[in-house]
Every structure is written in C-alpha cells, then in structure tokens.
C-alpha cells in the first residue's frame, strides 16, 4: 500500500469512497504495481475482495503482497479473499477437465456462452460478506479487482463482450452492493488517432473510460529512459455535476521501490528537468 498515492487520492483504508469504478491503464509501461497497491489497500480496509488474476499465479501476487505487509494466504483462509487463478482455470478448461475448477472460464471451450459464467462467479463471490455463520468474520463492502481485463481479448473475447461484462460487474458491485471495482487494461504501441477503426484494446480502453469514475493511466517519460524515475501516471477524476460531468486531471512522476513507490508532482523531481 502506497501512502503517497493514498494522499493524492485523498483516501485511507479507514475512509474511502464507495461505489467507485477505478480504471488502471498503461501504454508502453507497466501499471501492475497499482494493482498490488489496491489489493493490499482493500484487504487492509477489511473489504471482501474478489480478485481475477488472469496474468500471474497466486504465489506471485502473494509474494508481492507480503512485501507490502499483507498475506494473501491468510486472507484466503479467513474467507476475505476469493482468488480466481486464470492460468490454472484456463489449463483445466483447455485440457478438457470438465469437473475441475469453477467453470468460470468455460468461454474458452464454447465462445457462444460469452462471459456469463465468469460474471456469475463474481456475483456469487461478492454477494456474501460473511458473518453470522460458524463464527465467520463479517467484512466490509465488496471489491472486484481484475488483472488484467485485456487478456480476455487475446483469449478470443470481443471488446464489446468485455464492455458488457464490465457493465454488469459495475452494476452489481458498485451500484447494487456499493462496493468498488478496479480493472487493469493494457494498450500496446503508440496512442492512435481516433479514426473510427480502433484496435480491440483501444476500443476497450475508451469504453471502460466512459464507465469509470477514476482513471490512473501509466506511461513512460516523454523524455525517454531515466534511472531515477520510472514513468508518469495521469490521475483523472470524473464526477457527475448537474446534467454534465466535471473532470479533473493531475500528472505525477513515480518511482517503484521494493516495498513501495514514490510520487512526484510533475517537474518537482530533480531527476527529470
């Protein structure tokens, strides 16, 4: 959990906005450190967390979280964390092990079913907050984290189907249950000009941006490589105001450490002129 980022977002594990859809994106950079931040943040906030780990194994996420002071293994044992390991689930589906796993990734076997079962897995995971049964602990508002949703495109799912999936997730987690959703989406290559013929990842990024209330977009420095600064992140808040929408943007440079990250207002770091 990065305290400097919490200060930028005006949030703490004891006091955070509910009902938010947070979009994390990157271009020619790596924003996964923000996913690790939000995972540790919401676990510290005692939220019930459903985490779709579509990129790495559970042991990877657990190793990083331990450096941030959180044990995913303990969170799973207590029922606070529901973890879907996409790599293992995909292997089970593709190897025709029909009776194994949660069947959340069945779209790999039959694309016509879409992401319905994956959504049903999420809805089932976040609908029960625990407490009151067999001495189970009671958790706070539910949180859905996805790392990263653009992987679904490479598995043959259309951008439109992923946007429908995210819409239903937002309606259930953010609107109905007043929890939060955090999704990571990656775009390869340079930013394209809007010519009406976007690639899938670009369409997905634009569609998710319209749905979210907060975006954190990570990219490399425009000046090129710098040993002391790893890149920059643009933070954009979107709030409804009357019949319109109020948008506020701030740009920060950052450096990731082994157990945290430092953030600098643009131009205030001596490493970048």
What is the domain partition of the chain in residue ranges?
A: 3-129+136-190+198-265
Residues whose CB falls within 8 Å of the CB of residue 184, separated by 6 or more in sequence, listed in order: 24, 25, 26, 31, 32, 34, 35, 146, 147, 148, 149, 150
The model carries a pTM of 0.89
Q: Where are the alpha helices (DSSP H) in the chain?
A: 3-9, 32-44, 58-67, 72-77, 86-94, 116-127, 151-154, 159-169, 200-211
pLDDT attached to residue 188: 73
Written out in words, the top-level CATH class of the domain with range 3-129+136-190+198-265 is: alpha beta
- Asked if the model's pLDDT at residue 259 lies above 60, the reply is yes
Q: Which residue has better confidence, 257 or 31?
A: 31
* pLDDT above 70 as % of the chain: 85
The H or E element spanning position 218 is: strand 214-219
pLDDT (tens digit, 9 = 90+) per residue, 167-226? 999 999 999 999 999 999 998 766 655 544 457 889 999 999 999 999 999 998 887 777
Count of positions (residues) in the chain: 273
pLDDT attached to residue 87: 83
pLDDT attached to residue 269: 39
Bridging pattern class, strands 214-219 and 47-53:
unpaired
Coil vs helix vs strand at 199: coil
pLDDT attached to residue 238: 87
Return the number of other C-beta atoms located less than 10 Å from residue 223's C-beta: 9
pLDDT (tens digit, 9 = 90+) per residue, 102-133? 688 888 887 777 899 999 999 999 987 655 45
């Amino acid at each position: 959990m990065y305290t400097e980022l919490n200060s930028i977002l005006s949030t703490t594990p004891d006091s955070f906005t509910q009902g938010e859809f947070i979009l994390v994106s990157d271009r020619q950079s790596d924003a996964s450190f923000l996913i690790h931040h939000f995972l540790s943040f919401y676990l510290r906030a005692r939220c019930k967390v459903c985490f779709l780990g579509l990129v790495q194994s559970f042991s990877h996420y657990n190793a990083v979280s331990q450096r941030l002071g959180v044990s995913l293994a303990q969170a799973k044992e207590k029922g606070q964390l529901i973890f879907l390991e996409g790599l293992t689930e995909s292997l089970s589906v593709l190897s025709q092990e029909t009776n194994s796993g949660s069947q959340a990734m069945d779209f790999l076997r039959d694309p016509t079913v879409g992401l319905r079962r994956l959504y049903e897995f999420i809805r089932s995971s976040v609908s029960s907050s625990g407490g009151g049964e067999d001495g189970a602990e009671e958790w706070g508002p539910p949180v859905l984290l996805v790392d990263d949703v653009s992987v679904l495109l490479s598995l043959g799912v259309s951008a439109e189907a992923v946007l429908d999936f995210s819409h239903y997730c937002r309606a259930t987690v953010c609107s109905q249950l007043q929890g939060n959703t955090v999704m990571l989406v990656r775009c390869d290559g340079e930013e394209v000009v809007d010519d009406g013929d976007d690639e899938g990842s670009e369409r997905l990024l634009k569609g998710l941006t319209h749905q979210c209330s907060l975006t954190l977009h990570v990219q490399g420095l425009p000046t090129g490589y710098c040993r002391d600064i790893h890149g920059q992140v643009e933070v954009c808040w979107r709030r409804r105001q009357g019949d319109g929408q109020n948008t506020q943007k701030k740009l920060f440079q950052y450096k990731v450490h082994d157990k945290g990250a430092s953030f600098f207002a643009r131009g205030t770091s001596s490493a970048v002129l």
